[in-house]
Amino acid sequence: MLAIVCPGQGSQTPGFLTDWLEVAGVREHLDELSQITGRDLVTHGTVSDEQTIKDTAVAQPLIVAAGLVTARALFGDQLPVNSVLAGHSVGEITASALAGALSEPEAMTFVRERANAMAQAAAVRPTGMAAVLGGDPEEVLSAIAANGLTPANMNGGGQVVAAGTMEQIEDLNQNPPAKARVIPLKVAGAFHTEHMEPAVGVLQQLSATLHPTDPTRPMLSNFDGQQVASGAANLQSLVAQVSRPVRWDLCMDQLSGLGVSGVLELAPAGTLVGLARRGLKGVKTLAVKTPADLSSAAEFIAEHTA
Give the catalytic positions in this structure. Answer: 89, 192
Give the number of C-alpha atoms closer than 13 A to the C-alpha of residue 34, restricted to the C-beta side.
13
Q: What is the C-alpha to C-alpha distance for residues 238 and 104, in angstroms, rounded to an integer?
A: 15
In degrees and rounded to multiples of 5, residue 95 shows phi and psi of -60, -40
Burial 112-126 (b: 16+ CB within 10 A, else e): bbbbbbbbebbeeee
Q: What is the C-alpha to C-alpha distance for residues 86 and 92, in angstroms, rounded to an integer?
A: 6
Q: What is the C-alpha to C-alpha distance for residues 226 and 220, in angstroms, rounded to an integer?
A: 5
C-alpha distances out from residue 158 to 155, 247, 276, 280, Å = 8, 13, 11, 12
Integer Rg of the chain from CA? 18
